[in-house]
Amino acid sequence: MQLVLHAGAHFTESDRLFRCLLRNKERFARSGVTIPGPSKYRTLLRKTLIAMQDHPAAPDAGEVLLDMILEEEDADRVILSHMFLFGAPRACVRGGLIYAMAPECVEKIATLFAHDDIELFLAIRNPATFLPALLNDSPQENMPEFLRGADPFTIRWSDTFTALRAAAPTISITTWCFEDMPILWAQIIREMAGFEREEKIIGGFDLLSKIMTKEGMQRFESYIASHPNMPEMQKRKVISVFLDKYAIEAEIEEELNAPGWSEAIIDNMTSIYEQDIAAIAGMSGVTFVTP
């Protein structure tokens, strides 16, 4: 079984991405790809992982769990989406590590589904905007309290990925930048489904319609319709051109809840993030989807 686990990250349009996957449910099923409803597995998977803290899973536990999730449905590839698998936003950062619980979690998953081919899909986002978004959803009132004294300049996604790879080296990871998602949206869906780059999907412009004016979307859709055989890479260039002209500023600009953070601090963190992206892209076992 090919088991795809989409684990977020938080505040990277994960819910919208899952809804797009569900829109393709019938199309994917014809290719042996199943997308179970979240009520079938989110609580069940979470409780199983918690139970594994005290007792090792039975050798056939993963197979039994998948049988319960699939309910006798045939599938070669199963996509599970669980944005809280690595913790709630308020508990995401511990000891300066994003998703500090994730390494232990993926290690258990690798053990539970030892006979399956597991792929982890996890978006990354600039800590200069990601950390304030987490703070907004936490009970802490300021960033130093939320980070528990950790230096925001030392927080790296690459540390998380290094820990994930060390904990579960058999699990491959696919990642992308949240900032690129309007351009990469359709490709991310295809990667999850195991489809080739040019295969058609439903909802390939779902995120684009949120951040582009109505006039811009109409002009864009008209342009795409008049070029039905446009290659995927050329399509991405067209998306960039239309976004430059028709993007809704209020949708792409964020108000940061990080009192005391100056423009220079944000610029510095962004520069560090860009260096971190290069480090992650060079990691063994990690596929980085880029525009």
Nearest to 14 by CA among 78, 70, 68, 85: 85
The reply to whether 234 falls in a domain is no
Handedness of CA 278, 282, 285, 288 (dihedral sign): positive
pLDDT of residue 198: 85
pLDDT of residue 50: 93
Domain count across the chain: 1
The reply to whether 236 falls in a domain is no
Question: Looking only at Cα atoms, what is the longest distance across the chain?
Answer: 59
The reply to whether 23 falls in a domain is yes
Handedness of CA 281, 254, 181, 130 (dihedral sign): positive
The reply to whether 229 falls in a domain is no
The reply to whether 9 falls in a domain is yes
Q: What is the pLDDT of residues 136-169, one digit of tens each?
A: 999 998 999 999 999 999 999 999 999 999 999 9
pLDDT of residue 182: 95
How many angstroms separate the CA atoms of 159 and 242, rounded? 35
pLDDT of residue 253: 77
The token pair at 130 is: 């990601």
pLDDT of residue 251: 85
CA 268-272-275 angle, 5° bins:
145
The reply to whether 81 falls in a domain is yes
The token pair at 112 is: 């539970």
CATH number at residue 10: 3.40.50
Range of the domain at 253: 2-212+247-289
How many angstroms separate the CA atoms of 92 and 100, rounded? 7
pLDDT of residue 256: 77
Q: Are strands 117-121 and 172-176 parallel, antiparallel or unpaired?
A: parallel
pLDDT of residue 73: 84
Residue spans of the chain under pLDDT 50? none
Determine the straight-line distance between the first and last CA of the chain, rounded to whole angstroms: 29
